[in-house]
Chain A
């Protein structure tokens, strides 16, 4: 068929697509009309339509899904036909995280063998290799017909290999993909696996990695269990003994490009990182049996994390629902193998084997009976009814039991977090040799812990623990800890760690996952050295919620130890200091912080409630007082007259200090009150110094000091302070904006514009970013630009009174008085239902060149003790008034040099 011309092709496409949406009956007429006697066109469309019908799902699944295969395709390490000693490599049978398997010929004994090459990473640890080889050989030495026989292990040119019997056939995994198994075949396979397990367990060998891929089925039906001991290579108990729960710590290391194992067949205790025994094999086997019978896995998920959570938390769909012909006794066997609590599981493979064999006999017996004398119809029905009644009787009691177990189980659920980590490989047991840290880590970002509880209500806990850790580690003098606002930008974003490290300029990143169930809490943390791209330390903490407070200090200590940051005595003391022994109080405090961080009026009120509740539980909990001080400070700044909010803030800060004079946060809170409300520069400076001595890496005091210095007209020093704050918290909205604001107040408008536009481009803008940008434009007499900027600020953020007042001012000074008055009305309207600082009205009136009104409002601002007044000396808004004696008086009253 000749190709249509491009123009005609366009037409053909359209007609084709329109025809597609018509019923075949309508098409004929439609085509007649549309093609108007053009036979070539008509033929092409007709042909496309029939091609479309036969296309089915052609190309519907993007080829890009193959990209991983394409890109990750590894080269075979051993060329075919290569001889290694007396083995000749014939063919690659398979490859994976645990190495490649080749079909080879043993030229000496003239037999085919499976030749498995281990990944070099595993071969480096001699002790581990030895234990693995011992176990593999021990299993092989059992001479069990269902255990793969190992002939030899060896090394050739630094390549470790294992030579074993070559089993022709397919893996159970392949078999399951190919066809569903009938009950008898499934039981046959199950019995052979269990039989192998029984022999191994009797010799105290635990497989640890039972899964369909490790089961080979020969064409004659004989099953061979593969890879005993392999798991020994990949799991390792922590060798850093950090406490009684060290046994739960698992060291994880990533080996780029290597995937080991799959999470789907893990037992709950494996997932929890506990020590495992033979019963782990029983659970994994239960999963395999379930899959053979149900035709699907018991626990699935989008990724390893989900799979693990479902292994830990959910019950598999009952087999009988997926496959009704599965007999009750078989369902019971699977259920008992899959008990999450190993104490409730089959305790031995032997018991399991007995039950499986009984089930098979029962099945055979039934089949035989069905075959030999098909009973008359009514008889069958009677039997079924009988069976149903007995079943019902049994199952009711069984059901009750199961429900009771589920309930108990949920209550006593000790969950833990997953060993699996975002950013690096998931859920695989990598073995690691200990890495020595050449360079001491001096900067770290603690990423927001991931809340795995599946419940947004516990977000305060994951966020709170993160913040607590940031706060606690910030006390280390030689460690630069990125502040909250910098790291929380990445919350939920799944950004590459290297990328984050680059953006934040840190050497290490701490990741964590947290799961809370009832009274139990599990926290998994890992420390990643960015330069080495390695997890240098990781640990799972399983704790009662009642030990929450001490957990935080414990983690701080562990992390700092692993950073090799040397702690002085007092440092250590501060780091592990418990601010409250009462875990309920601590939780309430974390909830309070969570609300506080949201900063809206309602959230602040909620925060206040939580902090107060925390204080009911522990009246001496200084941090909760600091939280209250912070809430009232923000309220007094934004939502209440300062003379209502700040006195409370001051009381609470004082209360916190009376409980704990060495609490940096309390000194910072007090400094804020001294600066913004008392206008006492000396006292503020002193408090800031105390806070900074106690917590050198907290950026907040730098910010306060910058605000103070700029008020006094010390522009360069103010800039230096902001710079320091930004170093500690590079992605902070506030610090980036304050940097620009300082330039504005320092009359460096071009610098202000550059910095603020950069902040907007960085996506860090909030209302004040637009505010100061607009103000800088205004001072450069770029009024239209200023107006647009204020308007943009309102549409991008909120119609904040500050933006509104500034807009009115810009209209006024650019000669659009009517517009200015209209905007002023809006400000008045707002002030009817919420607090608007009188200072902002003064701003508008000074724009309107109404001096009397301006001073009246400034006086009112003074009465309210508006914090804006501290910048009166440098504020460009009031330049026209500076010569007025009233202004000089006001400056003096605020305590500013004229």
Chain B
């Protein structure tokens, strides 16, 4: 299916998302088991693992990888935004999780300040005007790719990615602090 998608069948993306989702879910859970509590997840490793399971590793070419990262980034964005939404609801219900007595502090968010739901909306807005730039944000922020990796996925230069990224950061920050 992944290859279908890379062949240009866009509907495969929708079909693929649940698979990526499930796989990332499985991977994250397994990473959590392996990692020392409180440690950040090794993102690229996670995505790679998921990727390897999704596509027969023998027929991997970079084209497929690039597509995969693009899809994975979208999946990640959805997952994270959905989760943030759920957390919002929970907060309103007043049942905030306060502490963990057993030393198993689940991977702590270092970006507590960012409202992912608002970011998601702002990103949609950005995407209307500049699709590529929105993809840069997805890949960098939601998928944790480096500048170089992002450039490779999008087939653009590193400088272009850096420019898109810095200006998106400024733009989004302004949107979110309005």
Contact = CB atoms under 8 A, between A and B. Distances in A.
Interface in B42-71: 43, 45-46, 49, 52-53, 58-59
Given A17-B166, A48-B167, A96-B100, A61 B111 contact: yes
B142 A62 contact: yes
B101 A93 contact: yes
B103 A499 contact: no
A256 B29 contact: yes
A885 interface: no
A757 to B, nearest CB: 11
A99 B34 CA distance: 18
B34 to A, nearest CB: 5
A37 interface: no
Interface string B129-146: 110010001001111100
Contact of A62 (B100, B105, B140): B140
Contacts of B97: 92, 94-95
Contacts of B162: 17
B110 A65 contact: yes
A73 B129 CA distance: 35
Interface string A64-75: 111111111100
B170 A51 contact: yes
A256 B103 contact: no
Contact of B173 (A55, A257, A307): A55
Contact of A17 (B43, B107, B114, B167): B167
Given A47-B174, A80-B95, A72 B144 contact: no
A64 B35 contact: no
A259 B110 CA distance: 21
Given A51-B171, A61-B111, A762-B58, A424 B28 contact: no
Contact of A72 (B32, B36, B170): B32
B111 A59 contact: yes
B172 A761 contact: no
Contact of B28 (A67, A98, A211, A259): A67
Interface in A450-480: none
B177 to A, nearest CB: 7
Contacts of A71: 24-25, 28-29, 32, 79, 83
Interface in A9-28: 9-10, 12-14, 16-17, 20
A66 to B, nearest CB: 5
Contacts of B104: 95-98, 259-260, 262
A214 B104 CA distance: 11
Interface in A483-502: 494-496, 499
B152 interface: no
Nearest to A10: B130
B106 A73 contact: yes
B102 interface: yes
Q: Which of B49, B102, B140, B167 has the most CB of A within 10 A?
A: B102
A668 interface: no
Nearest to B72: A64
A63 B106 contact: no
A541 to B, nearest CB: 24
B124 to A, nearest CB: 13
B15 interface: no
B98 A93 contact: yes
A99 B102 CA distance: 8
A501 to B, nearest CB: 13
B36 A62 contact: no
Interface string A232-265: 0000000000000000000000101111111110
A127 interface: no
B100 A303 contact: no
B41 A68 contact: yes
Contact of B41 (A9, A12, A65, A496): A65
A654 interface: no
B2 interface: no
Contacts of A68: 28, 31-32, 35, 41, 106-107
A77 to B, nearest CB: 14
B163 A17 contact: yes
Interface residues of A, number: 80
B33 A424 contact: yes
B89 interface: no
A213 B83 contact: no
A261 B105 CA distance: 10
Contacts of B140: 59, 62
User: Which of A13, A254, A304 is packed against the most chain B CB atoms within 10 Å?
Assistant: A13
Contacts of B174: 47-48, 51
A94 B102 contact: yes
Interface in A762-785: 762-763
Given A14-B163, A499-B53, A213 B143 contact: no
Interface stretch (A169-177, A342-350, A612-620): A169-177
Nearest to B83: A70
Contacts, number: 226
A303 B101 contact: no
Contacts of A70: 28, 79-80, 83
Given A65-B107, A91-B95, A96-B100, A59 B41 contact: no
Nearest to A257: B29
Given A20-B166, A68-B41, A256-B29, A94 B36 contact: no
Contacts of B10: none
Contacts of A92: 95, 97
A64 B41 contact: yes
A99 to B, nearest CB: 8
A226 B105 CA distance: 17
Contact of B129 (A3, A47, A499): A3
B102 A63 contact: no
A96 B102 contact: yes
A16 B52 contact: no
Contacts of A95: 97, 100, 102, 104
A6 interface: yes
A69 B164 CA distance: 29
Contacts of A54: 173, 177
Contacts of B170: 16, 48-49, 51-52, 55
Contact of B59 (A80, A91, A761): A761
A254 B33 CA distance: 9
A263 B108 contact: no
Contacts of A156: none
A63 B28 contact: no
Nearest to B43: A64
Given A67-B43, A260-B102, 10 more contacts: A13-B130, A13-B163, A51-B173, A59-B172, A63-B80, A65-B40, A66-B109, A211-B103, A213-B102, A499-B53
Give the 6 A-B CB pairs with smallest separation, nearest first: A96-B102, A96-B104, A213-B103, A70-B83, A62-B144, A52-B170
29 contacts: A6-B129, A6-B130, A13-B130, A13-B163, A13-B164, A17-B163, A17-B167, A48-B171, A51-B170, A51-B171, A52-B169, A62-B140, A67-B43, A67-B46, A67-B80, A68-B28, A68-B35, A93-B99, A95-B100, A96-B102, A171-B99, A226-B101, A227-B102, A254-B33, A256-B29, A302-B36, A307-B36, A425-B33, A761-B58
Interface of B: 24-25, 28-37, 39-41, 43, 45-46, 49, 52-53, 58-59, 76, 79-80, 83, 95, 97-111, 114, 116, 125, 129-130, 133, 137, 140-144, 162-164, 166-167, 169-174, 177
